[in-house]
Chains A and B, each alone.
Chain A
Amino acid sequence: MAFGHWLRKNAEKHLQEAAADDLMSRYPESCEEPYREKGLDHFFWRNIFVPVYLMIPWSIRKKIILASSYPGGNRPHWKKYN
C-alpha cells in the first residue's frame, strides 16, 4: 500500500473514532459504546497523531492533507468553489 494511502486510511479511522467519542458525549441517548482495537499502533494514532492533528489550524491542515494526497505534486485541475 502506498504511503499516502496508508496514512489516509489510518488517519481517517482514528480521527473518526475520536469524533465519535465526542459525539457520544453530546448525544449519549443515541449511542452505545463502540468497539475499539487495542495495541501500540492504535495508542500512537489516538494519543499522539489525533491530538497533534487537531492542534494545527484547519487552513494549514488542509494544505498538509492535499500535499500528502499528491506527493509527486501533480495535483489535477478542478474548479474551486470556496
Chain B
Amino acid sequence: MAQENLRIIVIGGGAGGISAASTSKGLLPDASIILFTEFEDVAYSPCGIPFVLGKEIPNFDNLFLQTAEHYAKIGIDLRLQTKVTEINVEDRTVSVGTETFEWDRLVIATGFEYDEPDIPGINLEGIKYVKNIRRAMEFDKELETLKKAVVVCATPLGIEMSGNLAHRGLETHLVDEGGWLMSDIADPDIMEPVKESLEEMGAQMHFGTKVLEFKGTNGKVTSVVTSNGEIECDVVVIAAHKKPNNSLSQEAGIDLGATGGIVVDDHMRTSVKDIFAAGDCTEIIHGVTEIPIQGLSGSHAYSQGRVAGSNAAENDRAYDPVFIPWGMVGGQVQIGGVSLGETLHKALGIPHVVAFAMGISRARYYPGVTRIRVKLIADPTTKKVLGAQMSGGEGIKERADFLAFVIKRGVTLDELAWMENVYSPPIGALMEPIALAAQAGLRELAK
C-alpha cells in the first residue's frame, strides 16, 4: 500500500516533468505534487516553434497542450519561474533560494541546454536559440523586419529552421562543418533530397565550413566569419547539439554516465534511492547495441516521465530500451529512420550489410506518387535488421514506426523480403519499398 500523503517533487516542466507529475497525481490523488520550473510556461510543444516562425502554423497558442489552470484544477502545485538551486540528498529537500521543500520522492526532469559554442561574439544581440516559447514569440516579431539569417549547425533543428526561414522569405544560410546535412546521424544518400529541396526553397548550404567569429556593430550581430569567408546577416540561429542540463544533479552527487546524462535503470531510478529521472537529462540504453545514449525526442521524454511518475507513486512499471524511430521534414522532403544508419554502424565498427532500394509511395499511375528511398542495415550473419534510414515524399513516419517494432522483435531480411503489404492505388504501391530493400539485401549477401 502506498505511503499516505506522499510528497512528490518534480524539477522541470517539459514533456518528462509534466507527464511525471500528471501520472503521479492520477495514481495517487491524495499525494502532494509540486512541480518547479524556471520558465514561464509548461505543457507546450517546443518542436512546433520552427513551424510557427516559418508561418506554417498560424500562431503560438496552437502549441500549448494544457493551461496552468488545468494543473491547478487536478491538484498539481505548479511553481512557474521558480528555479531549484540545490538538491539535498541526505535531508531529502530541494532549495529554492533560502526556502526548502521536503520530498519523499523526487523526479528530476531538467532537460537539456544547447552546447553554446565558444566563439568570439557569441553574446552579441541577434544570436538566437530555439527552445523557450516566450523568446520565440519575441523572435517572431523581430523576423518581420529581418532580411538575412545564418543558421549554425545542420542538426534537425538547423534544417527545420533553414527551411522555415527560407519559407518566410529571408535569405538563409546554413553553415556546418560536416560534409552533408545531419552528418552525425544520417547518411549522405538519404539526405541528398533534403539538400536539394532546401536549395529549391532558396536556402544556401555551406558545408565543410567552421564558424570562427560573430561580428557586430553597436552590440548587434552583422556578420558571421567562417573558414570559407564572411556572411552578412541580421540574425543568427544557433542550432547546436543538445547537452543534458545536469549541474544540479552533479552537485547533489547523483551518478552521471559517459554521455553526461543521469544514469537510470529501466524504472527510471537513479543512483540515489527515491530519486527518479526522465527525459533529456538522462541516458537511456539503446536496444540494439546496449550502449547508453542521450538526447532523444519529446515522445521519449513523455513516456519516460510517465514511467518515472508511476514508480514515484509506488507503482512498478518498466521502460524498455529504445530503438529510436525518428522522422522529420527537411524542406519539402520527409526523412526518418530507426536506430543507427550506415554512418554510425561504420563509426562503431559494427559488422553490417546495406540493403537499399528505391520504391514509390502509391500506384505508379496515381497522381501525387513520390519516390521513397529505403536503406536497411542488417547483420550479415543472422540477417536481423539493425537499423534503417529513409527519405521520400510521404509515408516515412509510418514506415519508421513499423521498422522500430520490426527491429525490436529481431525480424530478418528474409521475413521482410516477402512481407504482406497494403496495395491500394491512392495510398500504397504494389511492391512495398521496405520489401524491395530487403530483397536487395539478400541479393547482396548471396554474392
- In the complex, whether B292 has a CB less than 8 A from a CB of chain A is yes
CA distance A31 to B269 in the complex (A): 43
Of all chain A residues, the one with the shortest Cβ separation from B191 is: A30
Q: How far is the CB of A36 from chain B (nearest CB, A)?
A: 8
Of the candidates B178, B183, B208, B348, the one whose C-beta lies within 8 Å of that of A15 is: B348
Contact B208 A34 (CB under 8 A): yes
The answer to whether B255 touches A27 (Cβ under 8 A) is no
Residues of B330-389 contacting chain A, CB below 8 A = 342-344, 346-351
Q: What CA separation (Å) do A76 and B68 show in the bound complex?
A: 35
Chain A neighbourhood of B260, CB < 8 A: 5
A23 pairs with B257, CB closer than 8 A: no
| Known contacts A62-B291, A69-B291, A81-B321; is-contact A32 B179 (Cβ 8 Å) | yes
Q: Is the CB of A78 within 8 A of B188?
A: no
Which chain B positions have C-beta within 8 A of A62?
A: 289-291
* Contact assessment for B183 and A20 in the assembled complex, using a CB-CB cutoff below 8 Å: yes
Classify chain A: how many residues form its interface, as a range. 35 or more
Tell me whether A66 and B347 are in contact (CB under 8 A): no
On whether A78 and B349 interact (CB within 8 A), knowing A19-B344, A31-B180, A35-B227, the answer reads no
- Nearest Cβ in chain A — how far from B403, in angstroms? 15
- Residue in B188, B195, B321, B351 whose beta carbon sits within 8 Å of that of A27 in the complex: B188
Chain B interface, DSSP helix/strand/loop, else mixed: loop
Q: In angstroms, how far is the closest chain B Cβ from the Cβ of A18?
A: 7
Q: Does B184 contact A (CB under 8 A)?
A: yes
Query: Are B266 and A76 interface neighbours, CB within 8 A?
Result: yes
- A-chain residues with CB within 8 Å of residue B347 when the two chains form the complex: 12, 15-16, 18-19
Q: List the A side residues contacting B102 at CB < 8 Å.
A: none
Most buried by B among A20, A65, A77, A82: A20
B116 to nearest A CB, angstroms?
16
Query: B232 at interface (Cβ–Cβ under 8 A)?
Result: no
Closest to B345 in A: A19
* Interface size range on B against A: 35 or more
Q: Which single member of A8, A32, A58, A78 contacts B180 (CB below 8 Å)?
A: A32
Q: Which residues of B contact A2 (CB under 8 A)?
A: 256, 258
B273-326 residues with Cβ-Cβ distance < 8 A to A are 285, 287-292, 318, 320-321
A59 to chain B, nearest CB (A): 10
CA distance A77 to B266 in the complex (A): 6
Residues of the B chain whose Cβ atoms lie less than 8 Å from the Cβ of A80: 290, 321
B401 to chain A, nearest CB (A): 17
Distance A5 CA – B207 CA, assembled complex (angstroms): 28
Partner of A74, one of B207, B271, B318: B271
**A50-75 contact mask (Cβ, 8 Å, vs B): 1 or 0:** 00011010100110011011101010
B265 CB contact (under 8 Å) in A15, A76, A81 = A76
A4-B257 CB under 8 A given contacts A19-B344, A80-B290: yes
List chain A residues, Cβ under 8 A from B320. Answer: 79
Q: How far is the CB of A30 from chain B (nearest CB, A)?
A: 4
Query: Counting CB contacts under 8 A, is B199 at the interface?
Result: no
A58 contacts B265, C-beta separation under 8 Å: no
CA–CA, A58 and B352, complex, Å = 11
Given A18-B347, A30-B188, A30-B191; A4-B210 close (CB under 8 Å): no
Measured CB to CB, the nearest residue on chain A to B285 is A78
In the complex, whether B264 has a CB less than 8 A from a CB of chain A is yes
5 contacts across the A-B interface (CB closer than 8 A): A35-B227, A54-B349, A56-B349, A62-B289, A81-B410
The 9 closest A-B pairs by CB, nearest first: A76-B265, A19-B347, A30-B188, A4-B258, A19-B346, A34-B179, A35-B177, A32-B207, A8-B258
A-binding residues in B (CB < 8 A): 177-180, 183-184, 187-189, 191-192, 195, 207-210, 227, 255-260, 263-266, 269, 271, 285, 287-292, 318, 320-321, 342-344, 346-351, 408, 410
**Could you tell me which A residues sit within 8 Å of B by CB distance?**
2, 4-5, 7-8, 12, 15-16, 18-20, 22-24, 27, 29-35, 53-54, 56, 58, 61-62, 65-66, 68-70, 72, 74, 76-82
